[in-house]
Amino acid sequence: MTLTSAVEQLIEDIKANYAGWGRPSDVKQEMINEFNDNITYTVGKKYAKIITRGSVWGFVVAVDNDKTFAKGDVLKPASWASPARNFRRGNVLEGKYNANWTGA
């Protein structure tokens, strides 16, 4: 599995988690559609950044040579531009992560 396909699977899991809360209604379906339309990711030099509706959901390590983390490790955001580097929240390449829509 490539990093890109693993990040895309994470995004699909985040979307499914968002769709799973609350009771079905027309308003909820509109909210789900808006959420799904506004979740994206970008890949930089060191990290893939997952963005949901203008906020950073989290980061995924995109390099093999990070001193602390493995490629695919999920990190929560410390700011818009950088992750919290205290500990990993799972690994997308291993398929072991928590995909809560509220964040890593």
- The CA distances from residue 37 to 34, 64, 73, in Å, are 5, 31, 25
- At residue 16, the pLDDT reads 95
- At residue 25, the pLDDT reads 85
Q: Phi/psi at 63 (nearest 5 deg)?
A: -125, 155
The answer to the question of residue 104 being in a domain is no
Contact residues for 31 (Cβ-Cβ < 8 A; gap 6+): none
The answer to the question of residue 102 being in a domain is no
Q: Is the pLDDT of residue 24 over 90?
A: no
The answer to the question of residue 103 being in a domain is no
Question: What is the mean pLDDT of the segment spanning 86-90?
Answer: 95
- At residue 47, the pLDDT reads 97
The answer to the question of residue 79 being in a domain is yes
- The CA distances from residue 81 to 29, 44, 67, 93, in Å, are 31, 10, 19, 23
Domain residues for the domain of 37 are 3-95
The answer to the question of residue 18 being in a domain is yes
Beta bridge partners, 61, equal 47
pTM for the complete prediction?
0.92
Place of tokens 């693993």: 6
Our count of domains for the chain comes to 1
The answer to the question of residue 13 being in a domain is yes
Q: Which of 16, 73, 82, 17 is nearest to 49 (CA)?
A: 82
The answer to the question of residue 100 being in a domain is no
pLDDT-based confidence at 22, cuts 50/70/90?
Answer: confident
The answer to the question of residue 86 being in a domain is yes
- At residue 30, the pLDDT reads 93
User: pLDDT of 30-85, one tens digit each?
Assistant: 999 999 999 999 999 999 999 998 899 999 999 999 999 999 999 999 999 999 99
